[in-house]
A and B are shown apart, each in its own frame.
Chain A
Amino acid sequence: MTRWGMVLDLARCVGCYACSVACKVENGTPPGVWFAPVYEKEVGKYPQVKRMFLPTLCFHCKDAPCLKACPTGAINKRPDGIVLVDQETCCGSRACIAACPYGALNFVEDRAGEFGPERLPVEEAIYNKAPVGTVQKCTFCAHRIDQGNYEPACVQTCPTKCRIFGDLDDPTSEVSRLIRNGNGLQARPEAGTDPSVYYLY
């Protein structure tokens, strides 16, 4: 059985935010909604200081706390491990946002566009997958996977190959090999969510 997952090699990330923007273009997310943000952290003390970048996305947890917290059952997990929100069922309780340890879910609060309090017609067309009052999140670009393109937009765009996508259940896949050889770490393991995203330091 396929379980899609991702490895994020922090040594390779240069903080260009190309993944964030590629995701935004691919998924047409409204202002303020980012499925693949890149966080920053300053490490060390002056003068030995460096900036560390932390690319993220939904971790598509095996034991997803958002799925458990959702009162409507709008959050579902596919057999291939991808966790999706059904916009038609979501009632906007935001229980999933509170439950997610990784800040991966976004609430679409109003109809604001990039250029004012109302969306332009072109924005309306682009953001039509984001009904106001519902929750959105990264889909691992499931629409691309379903069309046979096995790379999410963020992975395809990353210029340093920091993001590697593949089948965690296939021991010969690149992600499995990297996790094995590079000591891939899951974020906040104490949360017990078993994320499908691993970090390499």
Chain B
Amino acid sequence: MPNGNAFNQRWIMEPKRQTVWGVPHATWFFAMGVGGALYLNRFLFGIDLGRILGMSAADILGMILISIGGLILIADLGQPLRFWKALRNPRTSWISVGAICDFIFMGADVLYVLPSLELGGARPLAALPTGDGTAIGSLLQVVAAIAAFIVIVYPGLVLASTTAIPFWNTTLIPLQFLAYAFTSALGLAVLAGALGLSASDTAPILGPTALMLSVCLLLLVAHLLNAANARRTALASAQILLQGDLKLPFWAGCLVLGLAAPLALVLFALGTGPSAAGAALVVAAILTLPSNFLAKYCVIRAGLYAPFL
């Protein structure tokens, strides 16, 4: 059906699958989450991925990912040229809040990293008063960090504020998005370390990576248990994930390959040391990325509207 709404595929009163959001939204949520977490990992914990033209690779990759997320959001609009109007309702719309924070993050982080730019051994923008070690630079980092945090959680808040779809209507969703974002960002840091792209030692971040993988697993189970004990529509959503048409991406992608396998591999690396578990760490780090995407995709696609009478 080319046109229409979420309910009119069948005019029968029963829980209805939401059909308006799908792959583009999961990709947008994924990209923004990982981008924001890369920045926060660098800012809060000093976990970087190396340098690109003298600038922090975590900052650059974070900006690229958030830009990609924003571009997907714009491309998915029915009227993409009206994207700027999406900044107009931050009072009640989480999408509006997120869109504003995207721009704030981009502006603040660009100004912060530009003075570090190295071209041919020179730093042509070093005179800018916004770089590392300046008062403005410090302020910009804090502003970018706040914006990055909101960029990570706002997609989850968009879903959690939707009372129409009981499976989404829980604070466990933004918490999951937050945990997955940091897990994937740590995974990228582990990957950069294992591939020798980053000068920093991988060993200290293996523990936090294992912790975040465990948190993701716990939050996923908590979300399913919450749905199982909630209204029947949320239970039906959980059944779609566990037994329905999303069981393959959910069981294989999210749970086994996405969380259990990387957790086992990281724990193995913790036992043997990162140098002895190089290939295993690379696999574990890579697996954190599709699992993050699939977790979002599965939650979005399993959304069901409750029958309204």
A residues with CB within 8 A of B? 30-34, 37-41, 54, 65, 67-74, 89-95, 97-110, 112, 131-135, 185, 187-188, 190-193, 199
Known A54-B13, A73-B89, A107-B78; further 16 A-B contacts with Cβ < 8 A: A34-B8, A39-B12, A68-B92, A69-B158, A71-B89, A73-B88, A93-B76, A93-B78, A94-B21, A98-B6, A103-B7, A106-B4, A109-B78, A134-B78, A192-B163, A199-B309
Contacts of A112 in B (CB 8 A): 2-3
Closest chain-B Cβ to A199's Cβ sits at a distance in Å of 6
Q: Which of B77, B92, B303, B305 contacts A93 (CB 8 A)?
A: B77
Which one of B34-42, B93-101, B129-137, B273-281 is at the interface? B93-101
Q: Among the interface residues A38, A41, A103, which one has the most CB atoms of the partner chain B within 10 A? A: A103
Contacts of A70 in B (CB 8 A): 89, 93
CA–CA, A74 and B86, complex, Å: 10
Is B93 a contact of A97 with CB atoms below 8 Å?
no
Is A103 a contact of B163 with CB atoms below 8 Å?
no
Contacts of A191 in B (CB 8 A): 163-164
Is B8 a contact of A91 with CB atoms below 8 Å?
no
Is A133 a contact of B86 with CB atoms below 8 Å?
no
Is A92 a contact of B78 with CB atoms below 8 Å?
yes
Contacts of A74 in B (CB 8 A): 85
We find that the number of chain B residues with CB closer than 8 angstroms to chain A is 44
At the interface, yes or no: B5 with Cβ under 8 Å from chain A? yes
Contacts of A102 in B (CB 8 A): 164, 308
At the interface, yes or no: B149 with Cβ under 8 Å from chain A? no
CA–CA, A3 and B112, complex, Å: 53
Nearest residue (CB) in A for B16 is A103
Is B20 a contact of A103 with CB atoms below 8 Å?
no
Contacts of B2 in A (CB 8 A): 31-32, 109-110, 112
At the interface, yes or no: B226 with Cβ under 8 Å from chain A? no
Q: Among the interface residues B13, B21, B309, which one has the most CB atoms of the partner chain A within 10 A? A: B309
Closest chain-B Cβ to A189's Cβ sits at a distance in Å of 10
25 contacts between A and B (CB under 8 A): A32-B1, A32-B2, A32-B8, A39-B11, A54-B309, A65-B163, A65-B164, A71-B89, A71-B93, A72-B89, A89-B85, A91-B77, A91-B80, A93-B77, A97-B5, A98-B165, A101-B163, A101-B164, A101-B306, A106-B3, A107-B20, A109-B4, A133-B79, A134-B78, A187-B308
Q: Which of B82, B96, B99 contacts A89 (CB 8 A)?
A: B82
At the interface, yes or no: B214 with Cβ under 8 Å from chain A? no
Q: Which of A31, A69, A107, A199 contacts B5 (CB 8 A)?
A: A107
Contacts of A93 in B (CB 8 A): 76-78, 86, 95
Is B93 a contact of A95 with CB atoms below 8 Å?
yes
Is B7 a contact of A37 with CB atoms below 8 Å?
yes
Contacts of A97 in B (CB 8 A): 5-6, 20
Nearest residue (CB) in B for A20 is B11
Q: Among the interface residues B2, B5, B309, which one has the most CB atoms of the partner chain A within 10 A? A: B5
